[in-house]
Amino acid sequence: MFLPYCDSVILYEKIQKIFEVLHYTISMVVFFSNKKEVQNIENPVDFIEKIVENHFESLFSLTDNKFRMTLKYHNLCHYGKMIETFPYVSLSAFSTLRFESSNSRIKKLLNVGSSYVNPCKTIIQKIAWNNFLDRNITKEGNEENEESEDVEIEWDFTITHFDRNPSLSLEGSENVYEEFNALNETLTNSISNDN
């Protein structure tokens, strides 16, 4: 068996692309989970739209433009508008869950009701009432803490780029190349000995 030649520059560029995708993904998570960090950002709408744009660019670059958009990824495109429309609502309140997947909840509420004149209004009223009760009534033995305990996370939203200068990036790559060839040779020999 022959393993293809591994060019360290190509491998290096692929690692850089993976790093960028991970960085932008973590940046989005930190942005939405850390209220203090968001308060320090001058224009959060433009900021998150830029992070999402960079995230998609890095995904397309990583997959050589073969990335397939799914509904959950498409919803990322609307984060800026959701922050603009609902500035005081955490985005964790929004779900990427499709509405159709919650049909069982609606069916249960419809079966409990006896109003068939306007079933849509009845269901919406029941959902609103249930949500109100869930938010405002504590269960027995559980007292809600008025102060939320937010964990402070420090995150640098700027991405650090590695030096792509070939002369610098190839320093020490001879050692990696030698190790790779040694492992490749060992693997090839063990496979040929098994046959």
Q: What is the domain partition of the chain in residue ranges?
A: 1-96+163-195, 100-142
In the block, which residue shows the tokens 């830029």? 50
pLDDT at 166 over 50: no
- Residue 69 or 190, more confident: 69
At 149, the pLDDT band (50, 70, 90 cuts) reads: low
Decide: pTM greater than 0.75.
Answer: no
Quick one: which of 59, 62, 61 has its CA closest to 70? 59
Task: Band the pLDDT of 143: cuts 50, 70, 90.
Answer: low
CA distance 159 to 45: 19
